[in-house]
Amino acid sequence: MPLMEKLLLLAMAAQVGLTIVILLLMGRERVPRVLSGEIAVADIAIDRSAYPHRARLLSNNFDNQFQLPVLFFVGALAALHLGTISWVEAMLAWLFVALRLVHALIHTTTNNVHQRFAAYTVGLAVLALFWLWLTLRIILVPGI
């Protein structure tokens, strides 16, 4: 397998890893509280407001990992399907994942909305560039 394809797949794996880490941290915050009876199941059956602040931050961030990253995964799979991954796709993929990590760290710690929004917006711009590059390749490169 060519190096650039491996790098793209590893970026996808890193995004999956980030999502799993957030899930595990969320479970560590939530499950013991429910098992100990600190939080009644009925209190969390409909919404998350009964959970403490950190558990809600992790839960919100976990949900967020199924928003922009879905578009990233679709684009990365399309790029792999088209073949001939260049350094551009690999670089944009890793930059997107790095920005998702920054976003997650802000979201689950200080939750500074301005910083979080900046990380999200720059990540969105990188994802848009990824898709623009992919679209241009489809239109302009013969044989794709």
Task: Identify whether the C-beta of residue 72 lies closer than 8 Å to the C-beta of residue 115.
Answer: no
- How high does pLDDT run on average in the chain? 96
Task: Identify whether the C-beta of residue 51 lies closer than 8 Å to the C-beta of residue 29.
Answer: yes
* Structural domain range at position 109: 3-140
Residues 6+ apart with CB under 8 A from 45: none
CATH of the domain at 39: 1.20.120.550
Count structural domains, the chain.
1
Query: How many CB atoms are located within 10 Å of the residue 136 CB?
Result: 10
- What is the reported pLDDT for 115? 98
- Quick one: average pLDDT of 121-134? 98
37-96: per-residue pLDDT in tens?
Answer: 999 999 999 999 999 999 999 999 999 999 999 999 999 999 999 987 999 999 999 999
16-31: per-residue pLDDT in tens?
Answer: 999 999 999 999 999 9
